[in-house]
Amino acid sequence: QQPVQSPQAVILREGEDAVINCSSSKALYSVHWYRQKHGEAPVFLMILLKGGEQKGHEKISASFNEKKQQSSLYLTASQLSYSGTYFCGILYSSASKIIFGSGTRLSIRP
């Protein structure tokens, strides 16, 4: 089952913060986050394994809430380079295959 991402789109001014959520109807094994710029390939951001850990990458971090079956991606003090579509991909077990959400389009304006 495809994870649900919210919001579908968000527009920010440079320097503002954003949160993108990825929700599942079943227990998750891991969550993967990717960013894709228009006309380019997806680029890996981070992976989170079940356990509620939080990871960081520059000013982009993410959390994994096992109880809520949800992961959130946090972008702080957004930069123009953060624009793109963010996808979460989930695995339900170590033996399952990845299923991607439909993406969240993030636009950053100067």
Partner 1 sequence: DARVTQTPRHKVTEMGQEVTMRCQPILGHNTVFWYRQTMMQGLELLAYFRNRAPLDDSGMPKDRFSAEMPDATLATLKIQPSEPRDSAVYFCASGEDWDTQYFGPGTRLTVL
- Beta carbons of 20 and 37 less than 8 angstroms apart: no
Number of residues that bind partner 1 (CB under 8 A): 19
- Beta carbons of 37 and 83 less than 8 angstroms apart: yes
Nearer to partner 1, 36 or 63 (CB): 36
Footprint (CB under 8 A) of partner 1, residues 22-81: 30, 32, 40-44, 47
DSSP-based three-state secondary structure for 82: helix
Nearer to partner 1, 33 or 82 (CB): 33
CA triple 101-76-85, angle to 5 deg? 30
Which parts of this chain interact with partner 1 (CB under 8 A)?
30, 32, 40-44, 47, 87, 89, 91, 94, 97-103
